[in-house]
């Protein structure tokens, strides 16, 4: 439990006024002096920002489209609209998915507490005067048999109307009990789901969730498919985006050429509203009008002038990046796992195949080969973890971490502004050299994260730390080197 609730006071206009991406890029990229060791020119290429900075003068919009309510399993009891709005403002989010609109009690709350803003297909709390907007969203799990194998696939659905959400929920109730879980399990194929979603309204938008996670994902090592087309069959034309998930990032997905036509989305899939969970992955748009239709059109068209880039955790930070066995605290990269035939070197049991290894199995490009129309991305880690690591503290939940966190958010307006917008010199004067230096490394994509595996999150370590047992995400060093 954290010592203090992060403060939302002093959220400045700089953050919440949706500054133009031209100004944003100038702040993040062009205006950062090389003498401060900040974002190098290569970041322009990585973000696709060099060309984008000269286009348009819209509003910067940061959207986290996938999360859950308290009615989903393993979700915080405090996961409600007020908490999402409160911590969303601290994080720097402009648009937040409501999650779970298929659950009758949650949907009733959405109908009573949200109001549509200016026919935009986006919603705001009736009781609050705030810039935060909500988009109606849910995640469902389909379970079906294909080629004599049971398939369990998760999908996210977005809709601009409460009546569409109600209508769709009624139709889906025939395939499973929607009241059991905010993320219901439906006995239907993925293709059937898409057909019903689109028939309910052409404005509805559906995409597969965390596509590489070993379980419950479309390309996952367990119960998944080898292609998007194989899963969605004759309905695949209605699917135009994929969610990368925490354990993969765009370059990993670029290695599979069949994914090129899809826009790559990044969302937190958060089960709590704490700022180290909500918005840890997000999508950044440049829009002349903030509306559901403008967002969906930017995604469908993969328009780099409007869909600017995604905010990504380092894929090593995800819980399933490397192959491993949690019980034995063992993890390893694909090449080493293959040498052992994916068997744990300690107990001999099958290890959970990691996302990196699964990508290698389906890859048709070498590392570093990118599609010509790829959108940009940036690796970002939660500010609380950066503070804790920089100060060599044992946990990001310590009071000292949140005291500094509040100080930084109070000055710069949001966590996103601290991580992406603030000058390094201002960070030094506010929080000291250690934290400013780690933010610099993050912006230069030079942070080192020990990969997560088998449900264990990866761990950020500083480059000058010597590799020893305490560096591991688990209680013991999990690397294969220990067994060689």
**CA count, 13 A, side-chain hemisphere, 295:** 30
What is the predicted pLDDT for the residue at 436? 98
pLDDT band at 245 (very low <50, low <70, confident <90, very high): very high
Contact yes or no for 132/122 (Cβ under 8 A)? no
**pLDDT tens-digit readout, 70-127:** 999 999 999 999 999 999 999 999 999 999 999 999 999 999 999 999 999 999 999 8
DSSP-derived pairing of the beta strands 205-208 and 149-159: antiparallel
Contact yes or no for 252/315 (Cβ under 8 A)? yes
pLDDT, greater one: 263 or 46: 263
pLDDT band at 464 (very low <50, low <70, confident <90, very high): low
Phi-psi map region of 260: left, alpha, beta (phi>0 left; psi -120 to 50 alpha):
alpha
Vertex 217: Cα angle to 205 and 312 (nearest 5): 75
* Terminal Cα-to-Cα distance of the chain (whole angstroms): 39
- 3-state SS track over 262-317: CEEECCCCECCCCCCCCCCCEEEEEECCCCHHHHHHHHHHCCCCCEEEEEECCHHH
**CA count, 13 A, side-chain hemisphere, 2:** 19
**pLDDT tens-digit readout, 39-51:** 322 232 333 333 3
d(CA 278, CA 267) in angstroms, rounded, equals 9
3 state SS of 168? helix
The radius of gyration computed from the CA coordinates of the chain, to the nearest angstrom, equals 22
Contact yes or no for 65/265 (Cβ under 8 A)? yes
What is the predicted pLDDT for the residue at 465? 53
Q: What are the two backbone dihedrals, phi and then psi, of residue 282, each rounded to the nearest 5 degrees?
A: -160, 175
Q: What are the two backbone dihedrals, phi and then psi, of residue 265, each rounded to the nearest 5 degrees?
A: -105, 150
Helix (H), strand (E) at residue 324: strand 323-325
Average pLDDT of the chain is: 87
d(CA 211, CA 137) in angstroms, rounded, equals 18
pLDDT band at 210 (very low <50, low <70, confident <90, very high): very high
**CA count, 13 A, side-chain hemisphere, 136:** 32
Contact yes or no for 250/281 (Cβ under 8 A)? no
Choose among 12, 266, 294, 6: nearest CA to 133: 294
Contact yes or no for 348/325 (Cβ under 8 A)? no
Choose among 313, 333, 368: nearest CA to 453: 333
What is the predicted pLDDT for the residue at 26? 32
pLDDT band at 471 (very low <50, low <70, confident <90, very high): very low
The tokens describing 279, both together, are 């918005």
Provide CATH code, domain 1-479.
3.20.20.140
d(CA 69, CA 98) in angstroms, rounded, equals 7
**pLDDT tens-digit readout, 182-200:** 999 999 999 999 999 999 9
User: Residue 226's CB: how many other CB atoms inside 10 A?
Assistant: 13
Q: What are the two backbone dihedrals, phi and then psi, of residue 482, each rounded to the nearest 5 degrees?
A: -65, -20
3 state SS of 402? helix
Please classify residue 287 by burial: count the beta carbons closer than 10 Å to its beta carbon, then call 0-12 exposed, 13-18 middle and 19+ buried: buried
What is the predicted pLDDT for the residue at 57? 63
Phi-psi map region of 341: left, alpha, beta (phi>0 left; psi -120 to 50 alpha):
left
Choose among 26, 162, 12, 43: nearest CA to 101: 162
């Amino acid at each position: 439990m954290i010592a203090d609730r992060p403060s939302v006071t002093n959220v400045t206009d700089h953050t919440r006024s949706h500054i133009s991406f031209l100004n944003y890029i100038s702040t993040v990229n062009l205006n950062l002096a090389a003498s401060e060791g900040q974002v190098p020119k290569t970041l322009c290429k990585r973000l696709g920002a060099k060309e984008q900075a000269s286009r348009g003068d819209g509003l910067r919009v940061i959207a986290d489209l996938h999360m859950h309510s308290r009615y989903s399993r393993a979700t915080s009891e405090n996961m409600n609209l007020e908490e999402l709005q409160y911590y969303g403002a601290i994080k720097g989010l402009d648009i937040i998915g409501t999650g779970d609109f298929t659950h009758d009690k949650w949907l009733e709350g959405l109908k009573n507490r949200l109001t549509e803003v200016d026919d935009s297909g986006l919603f705001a709390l009736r009781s609050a005067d705030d810039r935060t907007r909500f988009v109606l969203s849910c995640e469902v799990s389909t379970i079906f048999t294909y080629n004599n194998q049971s398939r369990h696939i998760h999908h996210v659905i977005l809709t601009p109307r409460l009546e569409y959400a109600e209508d769709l929920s009624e139709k889906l109730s025939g395939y499973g009990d929607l009241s059991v879980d905010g993320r219901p399990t439906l006995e239907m194929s993925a293709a059937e789901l898409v057909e019903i979603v689109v028939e309910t309204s052409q404005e509805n938008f559906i995409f597969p969730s965390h596509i590489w996670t070993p379980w419950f994902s479309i390309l996952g090592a367990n119960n998944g498919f080898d292609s998007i087309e194989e899963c969605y069959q004759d309905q695949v034309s209605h699917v135009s985006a994929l969610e990368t998930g925490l354990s993969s990032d765009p370059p990993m997905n670029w290695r599979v050429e069949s994914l090129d036509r899809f826009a790559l989305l990044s969302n937190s899939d958060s089960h709590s509203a704490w700022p180290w969970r909500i918005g840890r992955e997000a999508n950044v748009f440049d829009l002349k009008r903030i509306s559901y239709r403008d967002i969906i059109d930017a995604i469908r068209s993969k328009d780099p002038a409007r869909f600017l880039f995604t905010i990504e955790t380092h894929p090593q930070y995800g819980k399933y990046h490397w192959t491993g066995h949690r019980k034995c605290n063992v993890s390893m990269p694909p090449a080493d796992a293959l040498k052992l035939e994916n068997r744990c070197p300690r107990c001999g049991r099958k290890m959970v195949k990691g996302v990196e290894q699964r990508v290698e199995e389906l890859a048709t490009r070498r590392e570093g080969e990118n599609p010509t129309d790829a959108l940009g991305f940036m690796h970002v880690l939660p500010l609380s973890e950066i503070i804790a690591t920089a100060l060599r503290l044992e946990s990001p939940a310590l009071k000292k971490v949140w005291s500094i966190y509040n100080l930084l958010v109070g000055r710069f307006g949001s966590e996103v502004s601290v991580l992406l917008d603030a000058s390094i010199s201002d960070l030094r004067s506010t929080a000291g050299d250690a934290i400013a230096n780690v933010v610099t490394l993050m912006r230069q994509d030079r942070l080192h994260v020990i990969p997560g595996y088998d449900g264990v999150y990866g761990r950020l370590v500083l480059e000058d730390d010597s590799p020893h047992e305490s560096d591991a995400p688990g209680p013991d060093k999990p690397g294969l080197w220990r067994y060689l």
